[in-house]
Chain A
Amino acid sequence: MNFNETAVVRSPEAVFATNKLIRNTYTLLSMTLIFSAVMALVSMTIQVGPMAHLLSSVGAIALLWLVLPRTANSASGIGVVFAITGLLGFGLGPMLNHYMALSNGPQLIATAAGGTGVIFLALSGYALTTRKDFSFMGGFLMTGMIVVIVAMIANMFLAIPALSLAMSAAIVMIMSGFILYDTSRMVNDPHANYLMMTVSLFLSILNLFVSLLHLLGALSNND
């Protein structure tokens, strides 16, 4: 056995704290995913335009960067988490309506949602059962994310379909890496905050779903 890698002696208090963090994170994550799906349905029903997607994303990112760090250790942080995830879910409406208008749209959305669920559960299960520390991936994942953001800004104006697909494929890989990274943080970082972990995992799931849907929509056999 490699003692450096796996055999870490943990006190019962530390194990209890870790289990509580995992339970709280997954409970809140489940609730925010349901809330976000309801908000997406609302925005699909009232048929908001693409500008609503941009504005709700601006609102969610403002809350994420400016409000959540200040409220993450208080009860009001839970409301901020629901506001962020609700806005992000609401912003999905125009994109989902676009796919629903395709002949195989409902199948694409269901496949992307199911695929996202399978990837998330498999990677989380892997990180939780092996209890490996994936903190070494942080720099690599952040570099990948910055490269993707720069490419996205460039492609806003270049509009190269192949580059758009390559970015979606890269985002699927980066978000999968972030799921491993964040889940291992829950197990190995005693200072991890469950509100921050919830939002981080939610963002990984959301980006994974959107990118998977984009890939499936572009590469499926039907038009």
Chain B
Amino acid sequence: MGGFSWLNIGWALLLGAMLVMVWPRARTMMKEGRKGSAAEWKAALIPLLLVIGFVVLLILSV
């Protein structure tokens, strides 16, 4: 699927446009966004680790 096909060039252009559109919002969120405490990060990371475990289970089941 890789290489310089028109389809790949089209997708690359679309993703590039997305990058241009997302960048200003991302920059603002990175600079001015609220910083989380260690407890808050823990509260977010635990469910995300459970998601990883669940995805591994799904992969093993198929």
Complex: chain B residue closest to A57, CB-CB = B14
Task: Return the contact of B47 from the options A58, A112, A126 (Cβ within 8 A).
Answer: A126
For residue A220, CB closer than 8 A to chain B, the reply is yes
Q: How many A-B residue pairs have CB under 8 A?
A: 124
Is A162 located at the chain interface by the 8 A CB criterion?
A: no
| Contact A132/B51 with A111-B58, A146-B23 known, Cβ cut-off 8 Å | no
Q: Assess the B15–A115 pair: CB atoms within 8 A.
A: no
Q: Which residues of A contact B59 (CB under 8 A)?
A: 215-216, 219-220
Give chain B residues whose Cβ lies under 8 Å from the Cβ of A221: 62
Give the interface centre of B2, B12, B21, B62 by most chain A CB atoms within 10 Å: B62
**Shortest CB distance B19–A (Å):** 5
Q: Say yes or no for A5: interface residue by CB 8 A criterion.
A: yes
Q: Is the CB of B2 within 8 A of A158?
A: yes
Whether the pair B47, A123 counts as a contact (CB closer than 8 A) is yes
Give B1-44 as 1s and 0s: 1 = Cβ < 8 Å from A's Cβ atoms: 11110011011101111110111011001110111100111011
**Given A159-B1, A216-B62, A149 and B18 contact (CB-CB distance below 8 Å):** yes
Shortest C-beta distance, B41 to chain A (Å), equals 8
Which single member of B16, B30, B36 contacts A143 (CB below 8 Å)?
A: B30
Interchain nearest-CB distance for B23 vs A (Å)? 7
Complex CA distance for A58 and B30, rounded to whole angstroms: 27
Secondary structure of the B contact surface, majority rule: helix
CB distance from B60 to the nearest CB of A (A): 9
- Rounded to whole angstroms, the CA-CA distance of A157 and B10 in the bound complex is 12
**Given that A50-B7, A61-B17, A135-B33 are known contacts, is A123 also in contact with B51, CB under 8 Å in the complex?**
yes
| B10 CB contacts on chain A under 8 angstroms | 51, 54, 58
Q: A34 near B: Cβ within 8 Å?
A: no
On A, residues with C-beta under 8 Å from B are 2, 5, 50-51, 54, 57-58, 61, 65, 104, 107-108, 111-112, 115, 118-119, 122-123, 126, 130, 132-139, 142-143, 145-146, 149-150, 152-153, 155-159, 169, 172-173, 176-177, 180, 212, 215-216, 219-222
- What residues of chain B have their CB less than 8 Å away from a CB belonging to chain A? 1-4, 7-8, 10-12, 14-19, 21-23, 25-26, 29-31, 33-36, 39-41, 43-44, 47-48, 50-52, 54-55, 58-59, 61-62
New A-B pairs, 10, CB < 8 Å, besides A5-B39, A51-B10, A159-B1: A2-B39, A50-B7, A51-B7, A123-B47, A136-B33, A139-B26, A139-B31, A145-B22, A153-B15, A172-B55
Interchain Cβ contacts under 8 Å between A and B, 7 examples: A134-B40, A136-B35, A155-B2, A159-B3, A173-B51, A212-B58, A221-B62
